[in-house]
Structure 1
Amino acid sequence: MTQTHPITAARNGGQILIQQLRNHGARRIFLVPGESYLPCIDALNEHQDAIQAVVCRQESGAAYMAEAHGKLTGAPGICFVTRGPGATNASIGVHTAFQDSTPMILFVGQVGNGFYEREAFQEIDYRRMFGQMAKWVAQIDRTDRIPEFIARAFSVATSGRPGPVVLALPEDTLWGTAQVADLPSYTRVLTRPGTADLDALRERLEAAHSPFLLVGGSGWTSEALAQVRGFAERFDLPVGVSWRRLECFDQRHPNFAGHVGWGMHEGLRQRMRSVDLLLTLGARLGEATTEGYSVVESPRPRQQLVHVYADPNELGRVFQPTQAICASNVGMAEGLATLSPSRIPTWGAHTRAANAAYRATLAPLPSPSAMSLDQAACHVNTVLPAEACITVGAGNYALYPHRYRQFNGIGSSLAPTVGSMGYGLPAAIAAKLEDPQRPVVCYAGDGCFQMNLQELGVAMQYRLGIVVLVFNNGMWGTIRAHQEREFPDRTIALTFDNPDFAHLVGAYRGHGEVVSDNTQFEAAFARALAFAERERLPALIEIRYDADGIAPGETLSAIRASAQQLQRERAAAV
């Protein structure tokens, strides 16, 4: 029977567009208002019962929030920004969504078609601007085609390898009127492995001596992760999670082996190099996960590689796999749920050793000062409930929660695989909006935090009780470490004076404290959690510590000394 969708009364483009978003299940829009898309803003009046409009302070924060929403829900995060400067500010969120494979739709106001190609006020060609950082970039030039473009945007953002879509909205399209049919909600397309794929995989597993399961990517559901966990248990496989996909496996599970990628412990690094079969599920195996394509070599890995990915264009692109399976994470999980070994796996000792090595890394490493970031991160892991969410941006400070927090499922971690700064606070806001009962803690470096600290205004306005830990060492720490390695004892242009962060959060009606040793941290963290829950406002702890302690188990002084010794050896060899 043919489904029909009646033509409605004439509406302007903004009314048509917002109705389509509602039809496709959008529940929240992150925006910085602009005159270029006023009809859309006005149309939100009729949808306040279904769509929450979150007014952000800067477009990069809005885009980050939309990206984090996409990670949390698997549905496209929706962001609206104005033309020109608004779009350029939001581009960092689009780039993050692209490299993180996150479904997202960015709507950008545009000059009217009558002014196009004249370099009108704030005019940019968005197809050229976003072409290499989005799955699809288009401009809706006709009001009556808005439903078609919106439906396609949702499908493209969620199909295959998920990612961002950018749609430009000329003013005459939004102010124009049309009588047009609304379209029903999109359906996410899932691809599944064939019987032959699964049979071949089981044969390879049972012929292996030291297999390893690496889980990553996006588009997971709780049910799919549970199916993967059951598969790992039946085959007694050691399991790692790819770079910054910490939520993809329960890290308290006896089969968990660790976080694979930059900063992994040496035992896991050697284990990854020595396994004879690497089953990679959902991860692209990028530079970060493979540590510069060294742990898994390109183009031909030393391990047998079974690569499962939703986009056929990624299979064989960088690595030539032993077996390639084109399947979505959810579809592959359904297939793995049907597999059981024909005999007891022989690599149980390998799995137990991998887990024991991982658990050994949870003991705090020595610190050069009274304020041990290792001990603080261990304390956070101990006292936070399992369902809590931890967000980070980019910087060496993020290595502490990544090492010591035991994540366990969707929403427990929000971390940009693209390594973009300023992400943690907007992501924490998105997490708290999505689940107000879930404790949310943002880890942020002093530089990282200042890239989007104005979004504290969103937490204040919407009464979001998040906790922010600001790691204050007065410098761009990660770059300082790189500089010491390459140009030891010649640091320049890396330090800065900071505001009093504890007082700053008070301007947003929040709670702030400063700690400088571990005897202060535990009580301060308890007060911050209690304030955030009770007052539904942000709490912030500024952690002042010795800048020499640059990463777990590493100091700048040791990095400098090692680099200087290497320079002397090279000079002597000439």
Structure 2
Amino acid sequence: MNCAQMLIEGFKAMGVRRIYGIIGTSNFAFVNALYDHQEDIRYVSCRHEQVAASMADAEGRLTGIPGVVLTHSGPGTLNALISVANAYKDGSPMIVLSGAVKRKLRGSDGMLEVDHLSVFSSLCRGVFRVEEADHAAAVLSRAYTLAVSGGRGPVLIEVPEDVWDEEVKVEAPRFRFAAEHRPPLHVEDVWKALEMVKEAERPLLLSGGGVAYSGSSELLVRLAESLHVPVTTTGNGRGTIPEDHPLCLGRVGFGGGNTVADAALSEADVVLGLGCVISDLTSYEYTLPIPGELVLVNIDMEAMLNCRRRPQLPIEADVRDFLLEAVDAVRDYRPPERRGWWEFLEGKRSEWRALVEQARNSDREPLSGARVIHELSLLLPRERIVTVGAGTHLLYPMAFLPCLEPLTYLSAVNFGAMGFGFPAALAAKLARPEREVVAILGDGDFMMTLQDLETACREGIKVLVLVMNDHMYRVLNLRQRIQCQGRILGTCHGNPDFAALARSFGAAGWRLEKVRDIRPVLQEALAVEGPAVVDAIIDPEDLPPFNMEASLRMSLG
């Protein structure tokens, strides 16, 4: 058995079902070895490494098993760097399997050579080099452990071109695929946190990605219901409590937070953060007042201590362990009424709902994004996955397409890179074929990855790409108009006909311009047994409801 075959056996034992990548001379031998294992591992050849790595990222988020991306030494591996940063920032387990120049050429500054380990070290939980085939099993085992332990994240494994075919000399090397031991939960911390919440006049739960990744959403809902305490979420925490649940106030913070959740975070006297920290996004770059006492439950103590807004009570523990203990502890608890707190929140809810209602009934042409996404929400089943890119377009599904289950809204939340939404949708459909998958993208975002429409067509991946086409980078255009007195530069551009372009790849395509066509076009697109693109022409003057006051304060601060 050679090194490539050994790694493939390891991936199979790990539970990997797909590898995304692009072939090159430095990883050629690995692809050749993978040929004999296609019944167990599907190789998805992509057209850009950013796409391949984002697909691996989405796979890791959805399955908990590290997504695997195969890259070619030098330029190919560097092309994946943006997606690796997304995974690192959002705690997504991923393995970058990179080719490298032959061992004899290392350090010669030749073609394709770059110091991958140095470049990736600050964005990975571990970087490794397989110098000899005998080391492959140990390296893969250690890389897996780092990828899935603690706050989770990407790892890099570099394999020189001449090592793939090298025979493994040791007999039956063993893989050890296990996470590191979780920090022990101290029960007294649970009781102290619960007492703070019980004694508060305006308590609030803040649910983060840790709740979603640990499979603890049901426990979160049970705790909230037992305490009768409102819940807000971070971007990665969306869906950990259904957004149609009466205790859910929605997402908090910049990039999609609503005024209800933001007001709750500002007015709460005790905030219990579960599987999260108070990040720059949650706090509008720390310009949102958060005067209440803060309790954070997070598996990563370093993340809590490095946060600008430090908790009065940091609890280093797996959030699932905490919730299991907390739910049991409040089983017979009878919460107080807290009428003043709920009256305040209901007032904020009424104001927000009025804004949402007005926007989603718009008949404007060019179209209102609010109307388009509202109509889409009426057509999608409850069991859906929505992915987004970066830009104004993501505010529409935040306000008009409720997230009802964990890990059904995928976004590059904490890095904010464009180009994540489309590849994430492709991987989501492969990992969850029974679900309807929709990528809601801005035109600028889609332009960065649309070459992989060919991948979607070749692989027969049924996804709907809804392009919110306003012919500009609207977030920046808006800032130029407000902060720079209309000095517009570099934010307006032209676009191809995305529907015609989709058809040229072999996908279905529609151009959507009239209100009367919104529902029938979306119905047709959802019914297609393959990739479909709807190019919705959006009025650039149309703004979805969001916390403009907090956003402007952040921009000016």
Band of TM-score, shorter chain: over 0.9
1:149 matches 2:139: yes
1:183 matches 2:183: no
Residue matched to 2:405? 409
Tell me the distance in 1 between the aligned counterparts of 2:64 and 2:342: 31
User: How much has 1:239 moved relative to structure 2?
Assistant: 0.5
Asked if the contact 1:257/1:357 (under 8 Å) is kept, the reply is no
Aligned in 2, Cα 1:98/1:335: closer, same or farther, shift over 3 Å?
same
Q: Please give the residue correspondences for 1:113-192 in structure 2 after superposition, counting only pairs within 5 Å.
A: 113-180=103-170, 181-189=172-180, 190-192=182-184
Secondary structure in structure 2 of the residue aligned to 1:273: helix
User: How much has 1:554 moved relative to structure 2?
Assistant: 9.9
Residue matched to 1:344? 335
Asked if the contact 2:204/2:272 (under 8 Å) is kept, the reply is yes
User: How much has 1:308 moved relative to structure 2?
Assistant: 0.8
1:202 matches 2:194: yes
User: How much has 1:218 moved relative to structure 2?
Assistant: 4.0
Tell me the distance in 2 between the aligned counterparts of 1:348 and 1:114: 73
Residue matched to 2:462? 465
User: How much has 1:450 moved relative to structure 2?
Assistant: 0.7
Asked if the contact 2:206/2:274 (under 8 Å) is kept, the reply is yes
User: How much has 1:225 moved relative to structure 2?
Assistant: 0.8
User: How much has 1:550 moved relative to structure 2?
Assistant: 4.1
Residue matched to 1:6? none
Asked if the contact 2:466/2:533 (under 8 Å) is kept, the reply is yes
Q: Which amino acid aligns with 2:45?
A: V
Q: Which amino acid aligns with 2:534?
A: I
Residue matched to 1:369? 364
Tell me the distance in 2 between the aligned counterparts of 1:463 and 1:64: 18
Asked if the contact 1:250/1:256 (under 8 Å) is kept, the reply is yes
Asked if the contact 1:231/1:339 (under 8 Å) is kept, the reply is no
Percent identity of equivalent pairs: 29
Q: Deviations over 1:197-240 (max 9, x none)?
A: 11111211111111100111247358511011101110011001
Tell me the distance in 1 between the aligned counterparts of 2:166 and 2:175: 22
Q: Please give the residue correspondences for 1:68-107 in structure 2 after superposition, counting only pairs within 5 Å.
A: 68-107=58-97
Q: Which amino acid aligns with 2:445?
A: C
Secondary structure in structure 1 of the residue aligned to 2:314: strand
Tell me the distance in 2 between the aligned counterparts of 1:388 and 1:104: 23
Q: Tell me, which stretches of 5 or more residues in structure 1 are unaligned?
A: 1-10, 568-574
1:429 matches 2:426: yes
Q: Which amino acid aligns with 1:445?
A: G
Tell me the distance in 1 between the aligned counterparts of 2:547 and 2:349: 18
Aligned in 2, Cα 1:121/1:221: closer, same or farther, shift over 3 Å?
closer
Residue matched to 1:307? 296
User: How much has 1:267 moved relative to structure 2?
Assistant: 3.7
Q: Deviations over 1:470-516 (max 9, x none)?
A: 11111111211122232121101222221111111112222111111
User: How much has 1:303 moved relative to structure 2?
Assistant: 1.2
239-248 or 515-524, which moves further after superposition?
239-248
User: How much has 1:269 moved relative to structure 2?
Assistant: 2.2
Tell me the distance in 2 between the aligned counterparts of 1:51 and 1:356: 53
1:547 matches 2:540: yes
> What TM-score results when the alignment is normalised by the length of structure 2?
0.92
Residue matched to 1:3? none
Of residues 237, 253, 260 in structure 2, which corresponds to 1:245? 237
Tell me the distance in 1 between the aligned counterparts of 2:358 and 2:169: 65
Secondary structure in structure 2 of the residue aligned to 1:248: coil
Residue matched to 2:9? 19
Of residues 318, 338, 341 in structure 2, which corresponds to 1:328? 318
Q: Which amino acid aligns with 2:334?
A: R
Of residues 504, 507, 531 in structure 1, which corresponds to 2:504? 507
1:293 matches 2:289: no
User: How much has 1:356 moved relative to structure 2?
Assistant: 6.9
1:489 matches 2:483: no
Residue matched to 1:382? 378
User: How much has 1:53 moved relative to structure 2?
Assistant: 1.0
Of residues 447, 450, 460 in structure 2, which corresponds to 1:450? 447
Tell me the distance in 1 between the aligned counterparts of 2:313 and 2:108: 52
User: How much has 1:330 moved relative to structure 2?
Assistant: 2.7
Aligned in 2, Cα 1:221/1:94: closer, same or farther, shift over 3 Å?
closer
Secondary structure in structure 2 of the residue aligned to 1:425: helix
Aligned in 2, Cα 1:277/1:427: closer, same or farther, shift over 3 Å?
same
Aligned in 2, Cα 1:553/1:256: closer, same or farther, shift over 3 Å?
closer
Secondary structure in structure 1 of the residue aligned to 2:435: coil
User: How much has 1:99 moved relative to structure 2?
Assistant: 0.8
Tell me the distance in 2 between the aligned counterparts of 1:73 and 1:438: 14
Q: Which amino acid aligns with 1:329?
A: V
* RMSD of equivalent CA atoms: 2.3
Q: Which amino acid aligns with 1:376?
A: V
Secondary structure in structure 1 of the residue aligned to 2:6: helix
1:214 matches 2:210: no
Secondary structure in structure 1 of the residue aligned to 2:235: coil
1:52 matches 2:46: no
32-41 or 229-238, which moves further after superposition?
32-41
Secondary structure in structure 2 of the residue aligned to 1:338: helix
Q: Which amino acid aligns with 1:344?
A: P
Residue matched to 1:396? 392
Tell me the distance in 2 between the aligned counterparts of 1:267 and 1:79: 40
Residue matched to 1:538? 531
Residue matched to 1:30? 20
Secondary structure in structure 1 of the residue aligned to 2:506: coil
Tell me the distance in 1 between the aligned counterparts of 2:358 and 2:483: 28
Tell me the distance in 1 between the aligned counterparts of 2:453 and 2:159: 29
Tell me the distance in 2 between the aligned counterparts of 1:424 and 1:221: 19
User: How much has 1:339 moved relative to structure 2?
Assistant: 2.3
User: How much has 1:185 moved relative to structure 2?
Assistant: 5.0
Asked if the contact 1:24/1:185 (under 8 Å) is kept, the reply is no
User: How much has 1:24 moved relative to structure 2?
Assistant: 1.5
Asked if the contact 1:368/1:549 (under 8 Å) is kept, the reply is no
Secondary structure in structure 2 of the residue aligned to 1:220: helix
Secondary structure in structure 2 of the residue aligned to 1:422: coil
Tell me the distance in 2 between the aligned counterparts of 1:377 and 1:106: 35
Tell me the distance in 1 between the aligned counterparts of 2:346 and 2:447: 38
Asked if the contact 2:59/2:67 (under 8 Å) is kept, the reply is yes
Aligned in 2, Cα 1:355/1:434: closer, same or farther, shift over 3 Å?
farther
User: How much has 1:410 moved relative to structure 2?
Assistant: 2.9
Tell me the distance in 1 between the aligned counterparts of 2:226 and 2:246: 13
Aligned in 2, Cα 1:509/1:358: closer, same or farther, shift over 3 Å?
farther
Q: Deviations over 1:138-170 (max 9, x none)?
A: 212121011011001111011011111011111
